[in-house]
Structure 1
Amino acid sequence: MGDRPSRIEVPDVVGMTGREAHALCRGLGLFLGYYNMDQQLPQSMVIAYQEPPPGAMAAPAAAVRIWTTSDPLPDDRRPQ
């Protein structure tokens, strides 16, 4: 039981498809969270932005939220 890490490094999923990112996150023990939970993640769309950023440390089973190329970016990421 002591083999589970207490923190997991968040991978860089920008540029991947939803299917690729889901498989990678699942393999690391993270969840992939699509920004619009009312819609199903388009498996073939390319990921344009993620939160937390690559390299951040997350708790096991934490969510990596993603936005695809066709989604509006979060307010703090929009060009001014």
Structure 2
Amino acid sequence: MEVPDLVGMTGQEARSLCRDLGLFLGYYNMDQQLPRSMVIAHQEPSPGTMVEPAAAVRIWTTLDPLP
């Protein structure tokens, strides 16, 4: 299975996509909650990497820029 490109997505979008693909989403912040006001800035493994089903994709988030 190929890892999707999650960078630039909101946490909610990434969680939904990974769930649909059968991947686990691991994220890093202080309270272990993925606020809706965050977007994904970096992920591991990189997009396009081939992984086994149920693999974990780790993400790091950043605050959305103000409109």
Does TM-score exceed 0.5, indicating one fold?
yes
Q: Give unmatched runs, 5+ long, in structure 2.
A: none
Amino acid in structure 2 at the alignment position of 1:29? G
Q: Which of the pair has the greater relative contact order for Cα pairs under 8 Å at 6+ separation? A: 2
Q: 1:37 to 1:52 in 2, by over 3 A?
A: farther
After superposing on structure 2, the runs of 4+ consecutive aligned residues of structure 1 that deviate more than 2 Å are 35-38
Secondary structure of 2:48's match? coil
TM-score (norm 2): 0.83
Match of 2:40?
Answer: 47
Equivalent residue pairs, number:
63
TM-score (norm 1): 0.71
Q: Give unmatched runs, 5+ long, in structure 1.
A: 1-7, 71-80
Question: Between Structure 1 and Structure 2, whose CA radius of gyration is higher?
Answer: 1
Q: Give the RMSD, CA atoms, in angstroms.
A: 1.5
Higher percent of residues as strand:
2
Secondary structure of 2:12's match? helix
